Amino acid sequence: MDNRLRILRAERSWSQQDLAERLEVSRQSVNAIETGKYDPSLPLAFRIAELFGLAIEEIFVSPSRPTSRAV
Amino acid sequence: MTRSPAAKRYNRRVIRLSLLYALFLVIAVSGFNRGLLHGLVAYFAAVLPALPIIGVFGAIGLYLVEEQDEYVRMLMVRQSLWASGFALSIATVWGFLESFDLVNHVDAYYIAVLWFGGLGFGACVNKLTIGSAAGQG
């Protein structure tokens, strides 16, 4: 699933490890989500959204509406 | 490479079970070689080395329950499914070959060995298809 995780992380100058520690997941999980290889569960997607103070759809692009990229 | 607390517990359990397996195997083999085991005791001694191996299957199940990182857990589930397919496929093919007397008999417990080998096969598939394997930090 396309997402803005890498951009949001870069804006805060966080490494993948920094973000992983904040989310209490492994660095490889962050990498897999950022590169779209793994879609997080709803609880993890909420944790990510809450960490950045955004709505889920502002971070992740809906697969059913691929043209409406996350803002 | 950093390992999760669940992965560390899994490693400790597998090490303990491996040591127990070696101990039980020595007891069973030496008991049978010396002709000390008969009747029900013989059955119990023969099954003894299987118990720690069953324990390892249980340890993998516990790991899947305890692992908090959903992505790493998913990798391990995929690995286990590949291992199951790998071991059962080879066992099925071998079984037919054996039933037509084309290959020698192989003891059934080698299916467990194949399954553990299949975990490595599954890790390779994960690496090739997703780019990471369970246990990588």
> What are the residues whose beta carbons fall under 8 Å from the beta carbon of B35, sequence distance 6 or more?
none
CB atoms within 10 A of CB B24: 18
Considering the domain boundaries, does residue A10 fall inside one? Answer: yes
Contact B70 A29 (CB under 8 A): yes
C-alpha span between B101 and B88 (Å, rounded): 20
Nearest CA among B32, B35, B79 for reference residue B60 = B79
Separation in Å, CA of B122 to nearest CA in chain A:
17
pLDDT-derived band at B134 (thresholds 50, 70, 90) equals low
Structural domains counted in chain A? 1
pLDDT digits (tens, 9 = 90+) for B21-78: 999 999 999 999 999 999 999 999 999 999 999 999 999 999 999 999 999 999 999 9
Please identify among residues 41-80 of chain B the ones whose CB lies closer than 8 Å to any CB of chain A.
68-72, 74
CATH number at residue A22: 1.10.260.40
From chain B, pick out residues whose CB is under 8 angstroms from the CB of A37.
130-131
Considering the domain boundaries, does residue A67 fall inside one? Answer: no
Tokens of B47: 């099954």
Considering the domain boundaries, does residue A28 fall inside one? Answer: yes
pLDDT digits (tens, 9 = 90+) for A13-36: 999 999 999 999 999 999 999 999
Best probe of the A interface among B68, B71, B126, by most A CBs < 10 A, is: B71
pLDDT for residue B2 is more than 70: no
* ipTM, 2 dp: 0.85
Considering the domain boundaries, does residue A63 fall inside one? Answer: no
Considering the domain boundaries, does residue A45 fall inside one? Answer: yes
> What residues make up the domain containing A38?
5-58
